[in-house]
Amino acid sequence: MLTILTIRNLHTIKFTAKQFVTHLKNNPEKVYCFYGKMGAGKTTFIKAICEELAVKDTVNSPTFSIVNEYETAEGEIIYHFDCYRINKIQEALDLGAEEYMYSDNYCFIEWPENIEQILPENAVNVEIEEMEDGVRMVTIFGSDGIPVSKI
């Protein structure tokens, strides 16, 4: 069954993040690749997801650091990547991106198209699309490219 939900505005993002976390908890995959145009809401949605996962730290865009590490109240580690500024795959390799992705911790990656060559085969693709009315549609695709659900 395909579930379709939307992020109508910032007031409903928490509900959508909660649904997304339910998906996370029911699946073994740990690497989630967030696709969407500039301004689609990738960072804002990841911030809401981290809040639902009880991250203790302040969640910020890792635009300049490329990767941020957060800890949850339960001591779990989450990695948040922003690969927008990565121009060559070697840059990602030099900062140890593969070690993070294969650490068995959650990795949320913005602009994954810049590091596709090193993404795990089982990475889950998440597309965020802004509709004409400002509503965001979030589609979760399995590693096989087939939509898992829409949130």
Domain boundaries, given as residue ranges, for the chain:
13-132
Name the CATH superfamily housing domain 13-132: P-loop containing nucleotide triphosphate hydrolases (3.40.50.300)
Tell me the pLDDT band of 9, cut-offs 50, 70 and 90: confident
pTM above 0.75, yes or no: yes
- Mean of the per-residue pLDDT values of the chain: 89
Tokens of 8: 């109508």
CA distance 94 to 151: 34
* pLDDT greater than 70 at residue 3: no
What pLDDT, in 10s, does the model give residues 68-124? 999 999 999 999 999 999 999 999 999 999 999 999 999 999 999 999 999 999 999
Element housing 135 (H / E): none
